[in-house]
Structures are given as C-alpha cells and as structure tokens.
Amino acid sequence: MSNSLANIKLFCRECRGEYFLGDLHYRCPRCGGALSIKDLEKKDSLQVVEGRGIFRYSRHLTPDVPYTTLGEGRTPLHLIEESGRKLYFKLEYLNPSGSFKDRGAALTIAVAKGLGIKEINEDSSGNAGTAMALYARAFGIKPNIFMPVNAPENKKLLVKLFGGNLILGRDRGEANRLAIEDADKRSVYYVGHVWNPFFIQALKTVAYEVYEEGIQPDEVFVPVGSGGLYLGMYHGFKELYNMGLIGNIPRMHVVEAAGYERVYPAVHGDERYPEETSDLADGLRVPGPPRLNEVLEALGESRGNTYVVNDAEIIKALKKLYKMGLFIEPTSATVYAAYNQVRDEIEKDRIVLMPLTGSGFKALDKVMKVLLKGD
C-alpha cells in the first residue's frame, strides 16, 4: 500500500470530521455525510505531465497513484452552429467503455490499486458499473457490480463481458443497499461512484480539456443524476478561474429527468414538475443523491438554472442529434432537450457547452424504438 496515498485526508462537509483515505470509509462514520478530498496543494497553472488518459493531469487529481489508464479522456469537442449560436458537444460517449464514467473509473481504480485493494463493490444504474468492471478487471481487481434489474440489457451484458460479477437488485435503491451490506460483511472496498470523491475529482479533466482546446464556454448544460459530472466540471472550471486562466466560471445548468428531479424542487420549492416519470433517461435514476447540497452551492455560485425534461422532449432532442451524426444513448439527449427549452433566451454570442455522456450502443433497443418510429 502506498503510504502517501493512505494518508490523504478526507473530510465531511456536514460535521467537519476528518479521516484518512486508508481508513476506507465510503462516507462519514459519524454523521453519514459524503466525504471530500482535503485540498491538495493549490496550483497557479494547469500542469500537464507525461502520462496517458486523464493521468496527463495527475498533479491536479491525486499524487502517487499508479497510472491505470485505458486511454480515457481527450474526447473530441464537436462544434455545431445552430441559429447563429455556437454549440460545443464534448463527445464523452467515445470513451473506452462508451461513457464519461471511464474518467472516474480510471482514478477510482488507480486509488484502489495504490491502496492494495483486491476486490471492489460498485452499484450503478448502468454506465458506472460498466466502466468500473472494465477498469477493475484490466488492472487485476475483482469487480462486483450491483445493478437494478430494470437497467438496460446492454449495460448488464457489458458488465458481464468485461468480467464483472453482476448482482441484480429489485431497483436502484436495493442495488445500493446490497452493495454496501456485502462490502461490510466481507470487508470488500466499496467504491460507490455516487459517494466516491475521487470519481468526481477525475471529472474535472473534462473542464481542463475544454480549456486546452481554447474554448471558454459561457453556458454549460450538464445531466444530473448523482451530480458527479456536474460537480467535477464545476470544480475544474473553478480551478481554472482561480488560476486566472479563464475570465469567469461558466453558468452551470442542472438538467434532470422528469420523475427523478431532486435539484429542481430544492430550488423552486417542493412541487413536482412535471407530473410524469421518464423511462428514457435511465442513466439519471439516482434516489437520494448524497451531494445535493454541494450541487446547490455550485449552482448558486455559478448562477446556473435547473431544467427538468420529459420523454417527449428527450425523443425530439435525440432525433435531432442523430441527424447531426451524434450516436448517443437517450439519457445523453437530456442536455440538448434542456437547451431547446431556453434557446431563444440565450444571446447569440454566448458559447454553449454540452457533454454527450453515453454511447448509443448502451441502449440500442431504446434508441431503435424511438428512432424507427419515424419523424
């Protein structure tokens, strides 16, 4: 086990409790709050090192981890000009297992490997489980992946193909409970990406890459389930701003799926909006995301808005994106659906950034049902 890694300090934002990474707590043992990484040494410039994948930015992620990369990151930034506006799509679905979660899995598995871990438990609605299975197996760690029985078939299949031990729960909540109970019982390292601060840390690299391409977005639309991608990108842009490399933190907009909205009611009062449940945005089904308060803080600081999109809007957006040649899963169309809700209110010189999170291969059955119905 790497001592410097085991000695990294984690802290709880709720009760300020502090712990060592080597203690292997997935959340605060005192109050149950989510743990964050105590500030690494502040940098005054973006430092890149010889290293593949996200480990190019390892100085901003976590020191002293083994480079467990499969070539994640460095995804294309694809420009579409539409109604006089510049829309940049970050093609995260081109990552090794077909989603942005590969960035998080790469760092999470690097940390596990550095700590000498042999077996991990993860629970996921799909993409994170797939990514974690791929990376864990490739770097000699046994992955146990807990998923809801109604997760897309292709995602379950991929977990198995990548060598994951797949365990199904009745729903997302039960998958989560089983993963934690089993980890407790057998002393397996629970890496749950919804809780894991390294998973979020790795997602800062999306912002770094956009900066390195010379693009400074004004409006960023991010799909929010647990809020990992949202928080990661927010922290990435905030760091770039603190380094004086960008003039402002972009407005970070939260996009949620109907029936799974948590941020929207927290901002706008308790009313549910709208009164339906999305079937298509399966990637955003996260009951009780533990970092809701962090998301709300980032939303306030970046002056972002919150959007909820329903299946009819997702289908419309998906069809348009396919016409543009963007082969994504339905969940990933939520950002463009949200953009379409407000497009006319966004000034024409604003630069819009939307990560497209997951590959169409992940949910080909759903995509086909939607797209082959005709226009």
Full strand arrangement of the beta sheet holding 306-309? 77-82, 85-91, 351-356, 219-223, 251-257, 306-309
Q: Is 328 an interacting residue with respect to Zn ion (CB under 5 A)?
A: no
Q: Is 49 an interacting residue with respect to Zn ion (CB under 5 A)?
A: no
Stretch that binds Zn ion, among 4-12, 45-53, 234-242, 351-359 (CB under 5 A): 4-12
The least distance separating Zn ion from the CB of residue 32, rounded to whole angstroms, comes to 7
d(CA 66, CA 112): 10
Q: Is 290 an interacting residue with respect to Zn ion (CB under 5 A)?
A: no
Q: Which is nearer to Zn ion, 103 or 291 (CB)?
A: 291
Angle between helices 127-138 and 101-114 (to 10 degrees): 40
Q: Is 250 an interacting residue with respect to Zn ion (CB under 5 A)?
A: no
d(CA 325, CA 307): 25
Q: Is 33 an interacting residue with respect to Zn ion (CB under 5 A)?
A: yes
Judged by CB under 5 A, which of 30, 38, 170, 350 binds Zn ion? 30
Q: Which is nearer to Zn ion, 25 or 86 (CB)?
A: 25
Q: Which is nearer to Zn ion, 28 or 145 (CB)?
A: 28
Q: What phi and psi values does residue 374 have, to the nearest 5 degrees?
A: 90, 180
Q: Is 258 left (phi over 0), alpha (psi -120 to 50) or beta?
A: beta
The least distance separating Zn ion from the CB of residue 8, rounded to whole angstroms, comes to 17
Q: Is 38 an interacting residue with respect to Zn ion (CB under 5 A)?
A: no
The least distance separating Zn ion from the CB of residue 12, rounded to whole angstroms, comes to 3
Helices (H), the chain: 3-6, 58-61, 101-114, 127-138, 153-161, 172-186, 197-202, 204-212, 228-242, 263-268, 292-302, 311-323, 334-342, 364-371
Q: Is 293 an interacting residue with respect to Zn ion (CB under 5 A)?
A: no
Q: Is 35 an interacting residue with respect to Zn ion (CB under 5 A)?
A: no
The residue to which tokens 């990294």 are assigned: 8
Q: Is 28 an interacting residue with respect to Zn ion (CB under 5 A)?
A: yes
Q: Name the residues that contact Zn ion, by CB under 5 A.
A: 12, 14-15, 17, 28, 30-31, 33
